[in-house]
Amino acid sequence: MRQVVLAVSLVSTLTTTLNGCSFNASQHRAGLLPLLSTPSIGQSVSAVDNAVTLSAEEVEFLLSLDSSGQLKGLAEQALVRDQADQAIVDRVEQARVLFSTQPEKFESDFFTAVQALPSPLRRRYLSSQAGILAQRKALLVEIARAYLLARACAFREQTATGVLQHRIDQIDLTRGQFLNGTLLRDDLHQSMVFLTQARLQSESARQRRIDAFKALHLLTGREPKGLALPFLLSGSHQPHPAWLSDLPSDRLLDRFDIQAAEKLLVTDHTAISVARASFFPSIRLSTSDGLASDNVHALFSNSSTTWSFAPRQPLGSQSGTGRATSLNQRTSISNYQKVIQRAFKDMADALAERHALLQRIRSQSVLGELARGQLKDRLVQASDAISKLDKLAASIQVLQTDQALGDTQLAIELNLLSLYKVLYGADASAIPS
């Protein structure tokens, strides 16, 4: 399950965990985290430092998805809009309905989980600093996702339009051959079927692009103009975002659920330094290529389903403060362990997906090169009607392989969103049980 059920009421848990905690290197060494303050209900989001300004790591993340800077500009526009908490949640829901899409992991989505909260608790959570920060990260991911989908829809419309034009040219040639008696009626009929399919696909792609642009406009308040189409790259030349290279596991300490779990440890008089030394693996998560490190693989056994990390300094009957552990301490320690395991499992899954997608795009790139080579040969030979038909068929094949490559490129980009969400826990796990 995505959330851990604690032996306390929801209201009590919200009261004690919504504040979360922050982290920096010096505090890590000291083993003690300061607690975040909780603004009163209705306090402006601007009360939180840098609420409407992108941080350096956020800029780096957005530029890794879109080097043109347009996504960055849209995100900045969205942050300075009316920041009423419920208004943001409503806009996200409306944009998803408009584009008829939902997150792949629906049950773990932040905005879906927020909407499911009773109204008083939702307002309380979204007014807390922890809630404001979690919603901000989730909103940035949502905007990036909408932008990538809109860009992909624009590319699909472009390729669908190209295929349609080639199908029209095919019909002109096949009709002429049929009238000359060099082509059977069945062949002409098949070409007409292909043309009808191409028209339907082109119109569908156009409508999807319109809906995607409207959804992005709804989220950001700015109408996207002239989205830069994705540059198709072969798998061997996929960029490796700097923020994903050689990731230390300490980055997971920025997750909202881990911060909240560590606040519970402090509340129950458990030393965070001891808990981390006991239960938090200090490893390298990714390689320089942004793939899972051997250390990540070693954390799990039985096909990545069983946690195999053994505590280095078992707490035993002590909490790190010299006192015997109480029932509350044992509960918060157990919760801490589960939250950590979930974070590492999510990271391992997302990195495994990235590896599979990179392998897929390499294979598709080979097919794309073969299709282009075939088209080049047909262009040399295109002198009569038959060879011109062959050229058109080869051109359509190139566009179709490009579209398949673009679909995988999109999947790789959406996977980067998943990895970013894992780093911060910007999903349903950010909301206390």
Q: Give the pLDDT confidence score for residue 85 in this predicted structure.
A: 76
Contacts of 172 (CB under 8 A, 6+ apart): none
Place of tokens 């230390």: 248
Give me the pLDDT at residue 232, please.
Answer: 66
Non-local (6+) Cβ contacts of 20 within 8 A are: 35, 36, 129, 130, 133, 256, 259, 260, 263
Residue 340 has what pLDDT? 95
Specify the 3-state DSSP secondary structure of 21.
Answer: strand
- Is the pLDDT assigned to residue 401 strictly greater than 70? yes
Give strand pairing partners of 284.
248
Map tokens 């969400």 to a residue: 421
| Tens of pLDDT, residues 314-343 | 554 444 555 556 788 888 889 999 999 999
* CA 398 remoteness from chain centre: 29
How far, in Å, CA of 49 to CA of 53, rounded? 9
What average pLDDT does the segment 267-277 reach?
86
The CA-based dihedral angle spanning residues 394, 399, 401, 404, taken in that order and rounded to the nearest 10 degrees: -160
**Residue 267 to residue 305: CA distance in whole angstroms:** 31
Say which DSSP state 292 is in.
B
Q: H or E element: which one contains 307?
A: strand 306-307
CA–CA distance, 396 with 232 (Å, rounded to integer): 17
Over residues 163-193, the pLDDT tens digits come to 999 999 999 988 888 888 887 889 889 999 9
Q: Greater confidence, 76 or 9?
A: 76
pLDDT of residue 36: 31
Place of tokens 């909301």: 431
Contact 324, 317 (CB under 8 A): yes
pLDDT of residue 13 exceeding 60 = no
Instruction: Return the H-helix or E-strand segment holding 301.
Output: strand 300-301
Q: What is the pLDDT of residues 230-256, one digit of tens each?
A: 766 665 567 789 999 999 999 999 999
**419 and 347 in contact (C-beta within 8 Å)?**
yes
The count of C-alpha atoms lying within 13 angstroms of the C-alpha of 244, restricted to the half-sphere facing its C-beta, is 24
- 3-state helix, strand, coil split of the chain in percent (to 5) is 70, 5, 30
CA 339 – CA 335 distance, rounded (Å): 6
Measured CA to CA, the distance from residue 409 to residue 257 in angstroms comes to 31
User: Would the CA dihedral through 355, 360, 363, 364 be positive or negative?
Assistant: negative
| Tokens 């679909």, located at residue | 407
Element (DSSP H or E) covering residue 127? helix 119-127
Q: Which residue has the higher pLDDT, 11 or 365?
A: 365
125: tokens are 């959570």
pLDDT digits (tens, 9 = 90+) for 210-223: 999 999 999 999 88
- Against a cut of 0.85, is the pTM above it? no
Q: How many CB atoms lie within 10 A of CB 105?
A: 15
- pLDDT single digits (tens) 350-400: 999 999 999 999 888 888 888 888 887 777 665 565 678 888 988 999 999
